[in-house]
Amino acid sequence: MKTFLTRSVLGIFFGSFLAVVTILAVIYINNIEMLDAAILGKNLLGTVFCGWFFTVTPLLFENEKLTLPVQTTLHFLCVTVLYFIVAFIIGWIPFTVKGFIGMLGIFIVFYSIIWISFYMYFRKQAAKLNEELREL
């Protein structure tokens, strides 16, 4: 529970930081002088929620009762469903079949790249630890 709460707070802070950076980028790039408070609030809450669930859902990988393919499948389903619900409600993605399929393709590519990167990193770390154990 302590890990869940710690990651929740970190995710909320990360989502908040990402929201502020995004808002500042939009203001700077588009030279906007005034923002719509309703749109701003909706986007802030969506980004904070995404920050939260993207930092909490990796706890699935710490459940040693599940195999890696099951962990990955559950994680992928959780983040995909939550992200697309938020993205459709807020309007980040048009609520059309074309919008969904296009964004799902992009999402799968990015998910795969990030998953493979973490997998390779932890595999390298495990090899390094095993080598150090052999030297003992």
**Domain enclosing residue 12, as ranges:** 1-67
Q: Would you say residue 125 lies in a domain?
A: no
Q: Would you say residue 56 lies in a domain?
A: yes
Q: Which residues contact 66 (CB under 8 A, 6 or more apart)?
A: 60, 74
Q: Beta-carbon neighbour count of residue 46 at 10 Å?
A: 20
Q: Would you say residue 57 lies in a domain?
A: yes
pLDDT for 81: 95
Residue 131: pLDDT band (50, 70, 90) is very high
Total domains present in the chain? 1
Q: Would you say residue 13 lies in a domain?
A: yes
CA–CA gap between residue 29 and residue 51 (Å, rounded): 23
Q: Would you say residue 115 lies in a domain?
A: no
CA 25 to each of CA 46, 55, 95: distance values in angstroms, whole numbers, following the listed order: 17, 23, 25
Q: Would you say residue 127 lies in a domain?
A: no
Q: Considering the entire predicted model, what is its pTM? A: 0.82
Q: Quote the percentage of the chain above a pLDDT of 70.
A: 100
pLDDT for 110: 95
CA–CA gap between residue 75 and residue 38 (Å, rounded): 31
Residue 71: pLDDT band (50, 70, 90) is very high
What are the helix and strand counts (H, E) for the chain?
4, 0
Q: Would you say residue 31 lies in a domain?
A: yes
CB 14 within 8 A of CB 56: no
Q: Would you say residue 7 lies in a domain?
A: yes
